[in-house]
Structure 1
Amino acid sequence: MRSSRRRHPLLVPVLLCACAVLVAPPTAAEGDSGGTGLSGAPGYSARVVALYEEAAVATQQYELGRSEAEAQRAQAQRLEKLLVREREQIAVLHEDLGRIARARYREGGGLPYTVQLLLADSPEELMRGHRVVRQANLAVDKAVSRSRRAEARLAADEKQAVAEWRKLQRRNADLAETKRAIEKKLEDALWMLQGQADASAAAGACPGATRLGQPPTGTQRAWVAPVEGYVLSAGFGSGGARWANRHTGQDFAVPVGTPVRAVGAGQVVRVSCGGAFGLQIVIRHPDGYYTQYAHLASLAVDPGEQVATGQWIGQAGTTGNSTGPHLHFEVRITPELGSGIDPVPWLLKHGVDL
């Protein structure tokens, strides 16, 4: 009935999937407690929803900004590669200039024209030498021009690269601030939700069903795991000082607010909020088995309601006999405690490998 894991910090990437939340007006959910329902302070649920919606908007902005930052990073990396190639090209041009200068020196290109005329054996030799010198001068001029253009491009590209990196640094600073705001909003919303759940469990009276926005696409599978992004903690039959006998289910360590899914289609036969299990739901499936979802922070279904495979039926929490946020999941042959079987092989038999 509890996880051996201590309460741990919120894991934001997992919690972001809980941002899309729609809440119906509170209604009394019937259950084992027989209470008349506990709705909390006026506007409490609305405040939780508002925080979720603000976090959802901030998350969208964060994702957009992160995509833009990644694009800027890629552009800066392309510019860096271009700078490397241009530096290599300029080095080659400098080598060419040095080679041409040395050749001109060896061929007398550095002598005054009058001296070349006196040293020539014939007019033809002089003309040939003149053509060689003219061609060498043209080659030098072209090489110098190419080198200057390459250096100008290099300077411009370096300036652009610096500007892009500075823009990226500013964007990253903005994203970090946005992320901190998201974490704070989620933490406030989720622990407010847990606080309401604790009050309900203590009073033994269930709050109204908080309708969760469902995943965008329905599952095509007949059976699924009860949560996503989990770590398996206490298993079926394990011992522990907080249990009267042996552990009667499988625990999934997840943050508060993680959507809890119906593992298969069925009917909600029990919603209760007091005792060791805290806020809990029991579903009867067509094959005669029952599944239990305990220690919840919110309820999203009412007794008698038909649910589909993968439908979000509540949010994980740490109500009741629990030492940290997790989902306690059981498979039973009756709706009552004490008729449980090991959930892991049962789920595996239904095609769900945890």
Structure 2
Amino acid sequence: MRLTRRRPLLVAVLFCALAVLAARPADGDGSHAPGHGSPSVSAEVARLYEEAAKATEQYEAGREEAEKQRDLAQRLEERLDRERQQAAVLREDLGRIASSQYRDGGGLPLTAHMLLADDPEQLMRGQRVVQHVEVTLDQALGRSERAEARLARDEAKAAAAWKKLEQRNEELAALKQDIEGKLESARWKLQGEADASVAAGSCRGAVRLDQPPAQYTTSWVAPVETYELSASYGSGGARWANRHTGQDFAVPIGTPVRAVGSGTVVRVSCGGAFGIEIVVEHPGGYYTQYAHLAAVAVDQGERVSPGQWIGQSGTSGNSTGPHLHFEVRVTPETGSSVDPVAWLAGRGVTL
């Protein structure tokens, strides 16, 4: 199935971790089988999502720290290169001074010359020569010793910085692996409940999503926040009797599914080709369908607002992989669909 890129797909960890479930079986209506589904499993899924959310925060903080540590280590390496060059220059200076002393015969011949001098002025000139040579040599030796000591300290700092960075990267890799494992476990536990509901042909009570407060300035939104578009409306394929009746959004299991606009939930059903599905009636006579879900977060008859989380995506029913099947219809029933991309575009939502 060819994917058509419309909006960048973020790392699955980041937006799945946002779906922190506060599992609460709702009072069902005729379409909900009371007691179906295990509250303990729902609680475990909620706990796993909470842990994944916390681990994601730690991973992001650690990744930023690792970047800072990398910058520090690189700066130390650059300073070390400069200090090595300076130390090499000082060694050359010491070599030239030593060679000059050797050619002049060293300090002892100069002293002998001063003792044999015929006048005080010649003696003073000889003394100044000796003092100048000694001072120059002492200064050069001091600079060289300080540079070597500084170089040794900075080399130790750089080595420690790189070691710390390496250890931090190993910790981050383990943390990321732990995040992915917990999310994968949570997703498939959630999907297992969905499959059980579909097999029974009845939905368990709504599992409420503890969604963060969101302010939408528009009356219409996309059904999922981050996605890639897959099978489009009207496309052909062996999976459909005629043509594809909706727009598919490729998203991982557990992704929050949003009501695209205000309306009333007129159907929550489990079973059949669509698996777990929700149908919402909107003002103006249109209906939207959200299918192949892993969980529902609303009850039949409930009012919903734009952007409200009404369920979680999955791969229930006749589905070849995790995705959301989204339809726009002129009746609640299948067979009355219109192009959902064009319909949303007419309401200011570009996919």
TM-score of the pair, normalised by structure 1? 0.87
Q: Are 2:91 and 1:91 aligned?
A: no
Pairing of 1:127-206 with structure 2 (within 5 A):
127-206=124-203
Question: Paired residue for 1:58?
Answer: 55
Structure 1 residue 103, shift from structure 2 partner: 5.0
Cα–Cα, structure 1 residues 16 and 142, in superposed 2: closer, same or farther, change >3 Å? farther
Structure 1 residue 147, shift from structure 2 partner: 1.4
Letter paired with 2:292: H
| CA–CA separation in structure 2 for the residues paired with 1:29 and 1:85 | 76
> Is the contact made by 1:230 and 1:253 (CA closer than 8 Å) also made in structure 2?
yes
Structure 1 residue 200, shift from structure 2 partner: 0.8
Letter paired with 1:17: A
| CA–CA separation in structure 2 for the residues paired with 1:240 and 1:250 | 14
| CA–CA separation in structure 2 for the residues paired with 1:160 and 1:278 | 60
Pairing of 1:225-264 with structure 2 (within 5 A):
225-264=222-261
> Is the contact made by 1:225 and 1:352 (CA closer than 8 Å) also made in structure 2?
yes
> Is the contact made by 1:27 and 1:207 (CA closer than 8 Å) also made in structure 2?
no
Letter paired with 2:44: R
| CA–CA separation in structure 1 for the residues paired with 2:288 and 2:234 | 17
> Is the contact made by 1:90 and 1:151 (CA closer than 8 Å) also made in structure 2?
yes
CA RMSD in angstroms, aligned pairs only: 2.7
266, 270, 274: which one aligns with 1:273: 270
Instruction: Please identify, of 277-286 and 124-133, the stretch whose mean Cα deviation from structure 2 is larger.
Output: 124-133
> Is the contact made by 1:262 and 1:309 (CA closer than 8 Å) also made in structure 2?
yes
Cα–Cα, structure 1 residues 312 and 42, in superposed 2: closer, same or farther, change >3 Å? closer
| CA–CA separation in structure 2 for the residues paired with 1:42 and 1:223 | 34
| CA–CA separation in structure 2 for the residues paired with 1:239 and 1:142 | 86
| CA–CA separation in structure 1 for the residues paired with 2:234 and 2:217 | 32
Instruction: Please identify, of 214-223 and 267-276, the stretch whose mean Cα deviation from structure 2 is larger.
Output: 214-223
| CA–CA separation in structure 2 for the residues paired with 1:124 and 1:347 | 103
> Is the contact made by 2:229 and 2:249 (CA closer than 8 Å) also made in structure 1?
yes
Question: Paired residue for 1:25?
Answer: 25
Question: Paired residue for 2:67?
Answer: 70
Unaligned runs of 5+ in 1: 6-10
Unaligned runs of 5+ in 2: 4-10
Cα–Cα, structure 1 residues 349 and 134, in superposed 2: closer, same or farther, change >3 Å? farther
Instruction: Please identify, of 73-82 and 246-255, the stretch whose mean Cα deviation from structure 2 is larger.
Output: 73-82
Cα–Cα, structure 1 residues 106 and 353, in superposed 2: closer, same or farther, change >3 Å? farther
| CA–CA separation in structure 2 for the residues paired with 1:327 and 1:204 | 20
SS, match of residue 25 in structure 2: coil
Structure 1 residue 4, shift from structure 2 partner: 7.1
| CA–CA separation in structure 1 for the residues paired with 2:2 and 2:319 | 9
> Is the contact made by 2:19 and 2:254 (CA closer than 8 Å) also made in structure 1?
no
SS, match of residue 349 in structure 2: coil
> Is the contact made by 2:110 and 2:130 (CA closer than 8 Å) also made in structure 1?
no
Letter paired with 1:292: Q
SS, match of residue 338 in structure 1: coil
With a CA cutoff of 8 Å and minimum separation of 6, indicate the structure with the bigger relative contact order.
1
| CA–CA separation in structure 1 for the residues paired with 2:163 and 2:308 | 46
Letter paired with 1:146: R
Cα–Cα, structure 1 residues 204 and 230, in superposed 2: closer, same or farther, change >3 Å? same
| CA–CA separation in structure 1 for the residues paired with 2:209 and 2:273 | 25
| CA–CA separation in structure 1 for the residues paired with 2:43 and 2:162 | 42
Q: Are 2:322 and 1:325 aligned?
A: yes
1:238-262 deviations in Å (ceiling 9; x for gaps):
1111211110011111111111112
Counting aligned pairs with the same residue, the percent is 63
Cα–Cα, structure 1 residues 281 and 95, in superposed 2: closer, same or farther, change >3 Å? same
Structure 1 residue 35, shift from structure 2 partner: 5.1
Cα–Cα, structure 1 residues 123 and 320, in superposed 2: closer, same or farther, change >3 Å? same
Question: Paired residue for 2:286?
Answer: 289
SS, match of residue 21 in structure 2: coil
| CA–CA separation in structure 1 for the residues paired with 2:194 and 2:35 | 10
120, 124, 145: which one aligns with 2:121: 124
| CA–CA separation in structure 1 for the residues paired with 2:20 and 2:154 | 44
| CA–CA separation in structure 1 for the residues paired with 2:35 and 2:157 | 61
Q: Are 2:207 and 1:210 aligned?
A: yes
Structure 1 residue 227, shift from structure 2 partner: 1.4
Structure 1 residue 324, shift from structure 2 partner: 0.6
Letter paired with 1:25: P
| CA–CA separation in structure 1 for the residues paired with 2:111 and 2:32 | 118
Structure 1 residue 152, shift from structure 2 partner: 0.8
Instruction: Please identify, of 65-74 and 271-280, the stretch whose mean Cα deviation from structure 2 is larger.
Output: 65-74
